[in-house]
Chain A
């Protein structure tokens, strides 16, 4: 079983080394494990730090957004013949020890897409993030009929089938809902597992801005109407 951990990064030179150090080098049931950093046109030395950490790096020459970086990572994983791809945020928001549990449903052939949900277990999450995520989940449910407890989660695992069938068109944050819509369209088996959410001042500053919700919602609406 080949697995690629895709780490999209934009101007993350302050955090990326620590994040990459924490990512496992071996996983039970996985014969080949690689980490790929997709540098999304960073203006700092994110790429250099990632290369120094000994992982693969692909670089967008200009910034295209998180959705675009994830798709590039998944395309690379497909080209390498990967059986599983895991997406993992580069701002330190995720706990690497969640990865084995995340891929387990795919290894067991119980799921094609596994979403790491921050809201499946009780933990401390800032109120504004709770409200925004609730709104995003509601929008995804009302507009596309897909229910998820964490439609915007950055920690996901894709099976080979999911990688082949999910066709992402959204370049920015609206891609999160698109993954679920595509999974539903192709009747993929989706599973959610509870994960730990690490909110630090750094990850909150680097993560999705609350006001981003408005253009994200507008783009979802345009996609719905076009």
Chain B
């Protein structure tokens, strides 16, 4: 018999998996990303439907309770995902800057105007 929290989490995970499938079909996310998120949500599904699996996992890692090992793994994963997102945002910023630079340089004075601005002093020979 499922408990209330199991039913709620189950409903949420089924919703999350449906989003992954939809976004993958729309090609909004790559196949690799779809596989990654499917594995994450399916693992969560197994943990919810068969809580004893988390206890077995905990004993493998030497952690007392099953729920603890899930929290530890989730935290590590979340921090890593945040880091990857930070890197991705930096890459996006860099691409925007390159675009802005190209636009700026296209609307800029050319070599002739550089020469027009030069002064007439010649370098002295040593």
Best-surrounded residue of B87, B93, B108 (most CB of chain A within 10 A): B108
What number of residue pairs across chains A and B have CB atoms under 8 A from each other?
Answer: 79
Number of interface residues of B (CB under 8 A): 27
Contacting residues, chain A, for B93 (C-beta < 8 A): 171
Contact B123–A72 (Cβ < 8 Å): no
- Chain B, interface SS category: helix
- Judged by a CB distance under 8 angstroms, whether B124 is at the interface is yes
Least Cβ distance of A226 to chain B in Å?
Answer: 5
Evaluate contact between A76 and B119: CB separation under 8 angstroms. Answer: no
Residues of A participating in the B interface, judged by any CB pair closer than 8 Å: 1-2, 25-26, 28-34, 38, 41, 56, 58-62, 64-65, 68, 71-72, 75-76, 79-81, 169, 171, 219, 222, 225-226
Q: What residues make up the interface of B, taking CB atoms closer than 8 Å to A?
A: 83, 86-87, 90, 93-94, 96-97, 100-101, 103-105, 107-109, 111, 113-115, 117-119, 121-124
18 pairs from A and B in contact (CB 8 Å cutoff): A1-B123, A26-B119, A28-B121, A29-B124, A31-B122, A31-B123, A34-B118, A58-B108, A60-B101, A62-B100, A64-B101, A65-B97, A68-B101, A71-B101, A72-B101, A76-B105, A171-B93, A226-B87
